[in-house]
Amino acid sequence: MKKVIEFFLSGDRVYSEREKAINQLHHNRGYGELKGNRLFLSLIEAAYLTERGWIKVLDGNKELNFQDLVELGRRKDEDFDIKYLVYKDLRDRGYIVKSALKFGSHFRVYRKNAEHSDWLIWVVRENQKLSPNDITARARVAHGVRKSMIMAIVDEDSDVVYYKVEWTKF
């Protein structure tokens, strides 16, 4: 991509009506959600693509940089930073990453060109207290929709370690 694609801030996401955005980002690389002739990106996707220099985000006449988008994300979600680290790690590894809120997780992850996601990712801080019910409920949902439940644990050094959690009946 040579020319940076313009997006516009709209609440807690950004959008573009440009054909180039729809073709290059959505159809070719799996970013965002298409609604009519608009491509909508989450703030995490927008921050990632801004950091890579692929898009620029405008709020009225003001261009928002990567840090501005992170600050906006933090205002909406106190875990924005750790979710961004996991999102970036997965995208940098070549996976397509989408929201998994309807599955009770943070992300659903697809292999490139896959029709269905393989994994549900639940992002957790290393020192976060978890209840057994939180873990079993998520593992059960993942099992029920034929996906693997993955806990992405982020430590104080911002390193991410992935653990697969399986639901087993005896």
Distance separating alpha carbons of residues 106 and 89, to the nearest angstrom: 14
Question: What pairing do the DSSP bridges indicate for beta strands 5-10 and 55-59?
Answer: parallel
Q: What's the one-letter identity of residue 150?
A: I
Active site residues per annotation: 110, 116, 147
Q: What count of other Cβ atoms lies within 10 Å of the Cβ of residue 19?
A: 10
Distance separating alpha carbons of residues 26 and 20, to the nearest angstrom: 9
Q: What's the one-letter identity of residue 132?
A: P
What are 131's strand-pairing partners?
none
Local structure of 168: helix, strand or coil: coil
